[in-house]
């Protein structure tokens, strides 16, 4: 299973964040097979909740691209929506993260992506939509299911601000 997270909290060329996320998945679907897409979720910006809130979603795709080529393709999609890589955690038009590439587990020290995404299990804005489309997906390192990881964050109150919008 190949999983991608999308988030946006800035407009681009008249598009709001919801439109950007949906159009980004359409662009990804033109270069791969888009299998499932979660609902859209509204999430406060972090670390500065005064920044515009994010719209987040997760998709499952199939592709013949390897993880490094896929990550480069995702960066090209981001650039097409005006993404500028400035300071960390700054507001952005589009952020695409390669969450998982089948059962691959790697640190990414050779310039390729770290897999699964190193902070996947700590992010309610990723786990809630992931658990919606693939509750039985297992983290390649811990073996925990997405549904269980999301439930743990929900039990701790960490998911209270992740609100389904569509």
Q: Which residues are catalytic?
A: 83, 92, 95, 97
Q: For the chain, percent helix, then strand, then coil, each to nearest 5? A: 30, 25, 45
Residues 154, 152: Cα–Cα separation, whole Å = 5
Alpha-carbon distances of 23 from 12, 36, 55, 146, 164, rounded to whole Å: 12, 14, 13, 25, 18
- What tokens appear for 67 in the block? 């993880």
Q: Where are the beta strands (DSSP E) in the chain?
A: 2-8, 33-37, 41-43, 54-62, 95-101, 163-164
């Amino acid at each position: 299973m190949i999983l991608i997270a999308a988030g946006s909290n800035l407009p681009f060329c008249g598009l709001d964040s919801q439109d950007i996320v949906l159009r980004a998945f359409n662009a990804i679907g033109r270069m791969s097979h888009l299998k499932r897409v979660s609902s859209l979720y509204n999430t406060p910006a972090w670390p500065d909740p005064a920044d515009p809130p994010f719209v987040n979603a997760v998709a499952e795709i199939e592709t013949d691209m390897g993880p490094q080529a896929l990550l480069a393709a995702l960066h090209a999609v981001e650039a097409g929506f005006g993404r500028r890589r400035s300071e960390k955690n700054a507001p952005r038009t589009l952020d695409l993260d390669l969450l998982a590439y089948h059962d691959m587990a790697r640190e990414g020290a050779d310039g390729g992506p770290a897999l699964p995404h190193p902070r996947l299990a700590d992010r309610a804005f990723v786990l809630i939509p992931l658990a919606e489309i693939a509750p039985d997906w297992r983290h390649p390192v811990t073996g925990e299911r997405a549904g269980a990881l999301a439930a743990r964050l929900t039990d701790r109150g960490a998911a209270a601000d992740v609100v389904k919008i569509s």
